A and B are shown apart, each in its own frame.
Chain A
Amino acid sequence: MTAETAPAVGAALPAARRRPVRPGRLGLHAFLMTVSLAFLAPLLLAVYASLRPYEETAAHGYFSLPRNLSFDYYRQAFTDSGMSKYFVNSLIIAVPGVLLALFLASFVAFAVARLRMRGGMVLLMLFTAGNLLPQQVIVTPLYVMFNRIPLPYWMSESMTMYDSFWAVIAVQVGFQTGFCVFVLANFMRTLPLEILEAARVDGAGVWTQYWRITLPLCRPALAALGTLQFTWMYNDFLWALVFVSDGDKLPITSALNNLRGQFFTDYNLLAAGSVIVALPTILVFLLLQRQFIAGLTLGSSKG
């Protein structure tokens, strides 16, 4: 508690910013810097390891000075291991997944929060509670169900919903809609009702009230939620692992496991793979940091 040295009364006030540096502040910075570096270190280690040949780290360990640095593992991950194909798979799942989840959830939220439908509370609970269940509770019956739903060949080469993108997208959307309903309903409650009433007086139907009047007001919330949902769907590991057996259809996060050999794992290659998989989410995070954080905290506070 290095910070405790600051005078008690002034420290709690926001007005007390920009004071001359004091030993207490220095201690605070030293502490925060140490923690920050400790948090960054594993990521930096992964990047560092991915640039070095296996023989070198096998002989000297990951925590040693570099002798050779190269992007060979990245080339290998892209050419031999087909990471670009898996990346496309991830997009095929996550992009429609996010759009569908937002669309479906925003209408439910609109009906619950804006139209104040009877039974809206029950709906809200149904969706919220559903999103909190552990995935393993629903995985078995879904596995059985998807194996029994036939799909035409043009939709799925396996002729069943199992082992197709449809299964993964359906589960992602079904599962994440719950969370989106919840967040969007909270957001929509803060919008002024007068606009909607005015539209109603002008004879706007439910669809117009939803699509033309409410959704445009929800843009910040949708952007925030979309960013967050994209990251989650992209990061998901379990659904594809269970519902996809064809290695060519795996999304990139689940495919990472394939970089492990049966008897021997080149951890440097795995590190390169991890960096490749993590890079898009880190970029999204750095570029859309405000949206990302807003998505996480939306509705949990005024702001």
Chain B
Amino acid sequence: MPLPTMRPAPRARAGRRGPRRFTRRDLAVLGVLLGLPVLLDLAIVWGPTLASIGLSFTSWDGLGEIRWVGGKNYATLFTDYPQFWPAVRNNLLWLGFLGLVATPFGLFLAVLLDRGVRFSRFYQSTLYMPVVLSLAIVGFIAQLVFSRDQGALNAVLANQDHPVDWLGDPDLNIWMVLIAAAWRHTGYVMILYLAGLKSVDASLKEAAAIDGASERQTFFRVVFPTLRPVNVIVGVITVIEALRAFDIVYAINHGRNGLELLSVLVTDNIIGEASRIGFGSAIAVVLLTVSLGFIATYLVQELRGEKQT
């Protein structure tokens, strides 16, 4: 999910005045219209988050009794659940691939397009296009490209005699899925950087040029540091996308045979036959812990930016 930075409020402090008096009607409006979204947010997001943490220490099949089992779910998860570590590995690969390949590539494309090339509108639209697609569709389209017997890739490579099973080979398929995910992520990152680059003060670049900086120096020493707010957003999006990854692999093969992900394991444990809700929650809490780490870092950064102005 994209996440614009909190823009420093131009008059946030200066305009503050003494306490205002609200009429009774104002208070009612405030109460209802603030209360509803807050209640909804607590009921849909934060309540269930706490409940997940609680449930992760229990054993429950969704119908019978909820039994407290302490840290047993976690012990099982780390030592006796063969899909867990491959899933962690795949999530990390996802993060690494998006962060080290797709994101820099998106930035690179944005820099190229920002130079004011002709047909830039066409390039932009084409490169953004995958962003509007559902990840599930990306998964389905990936099957057309990578399918072993009829897929376009094997046809282009002309290796019909020894076709590669791109999505069926458990050592290979995660990379193909990552390429599909990067297809969508690159355009996304590019939009954000392009907007960021457009807002960079042109006089900064001129000044650098007059001082004799090369283009490369101008970008890395002058332009890139001013993009910090965009960098933070892109970083958060990349991490969150990597942790949320689910739809593509679920569309391809329900996340089995080399495509295990933490999110898939959670879903399998709840809506699967076994209905091991306590255990599924423990996996969810692992995801939660990792993402909260990044979310907290992000919020701290934002707050610091807010205070500086």
Contact = CB atoms under 8 A, between A and B. Distances in A.
Interface string B139-164: 01111110101111011100010000
Given A62-B150, A132-B295, A296-B2, A107 B37 contact: yes
B252 to A, nearest CB: 11
Contacts of A129: 295, 299
B278 to A, nearest CB: 9
Binding site of A, secondary structure by majority: helix, strand, loop or mixed?
Answer: helix
Interface residues of B, number: 125
A62 B233 contact: no
A172 to B, nearest CB: 9
Contacts of A107: 33-34, 37
A270 B140 CA distance: 7
Interface string A35-46: 110011011011
Interface in B178-236: 183, 187-188, 191-192, 195-196, 198-199, 202, 205-206, 208-209, 214-216, 218, 229-230, 233, 236
A193 B7 contact: no
B156 A104 contact: no
Contact of B199 (A175, A235, A236, A302): A302
Nearest to A192: B11
B26 A278 contact: no
B152 A61 contact: yes
Contacts of A231: 132
A200 B26 CA distance: 12
B102 interface: no
A175 B285 CA distance: 18
Interface stretch (A4-12, A69-77, A212-220): A4-12
Interface string B30-50: 100110111011011111110
A13 B218 CA distance: 11
29 contacts: A8-B214, A39-B187, A42-B183, A45-B152, A61-B160, A121-B303, A128-B3, A130-B46, A131-B45, A133-B291, A133-B295, A134-B240, A134-B244, A135-B244, A137-B288, A138-B48, A140-B51, A140-B266, A140-B277, A174-B45, A182-B4, A185-B6, A238-B246, A242-B267, A256-B140, A293-B128, A296-B2, A297-B2, A297-B191
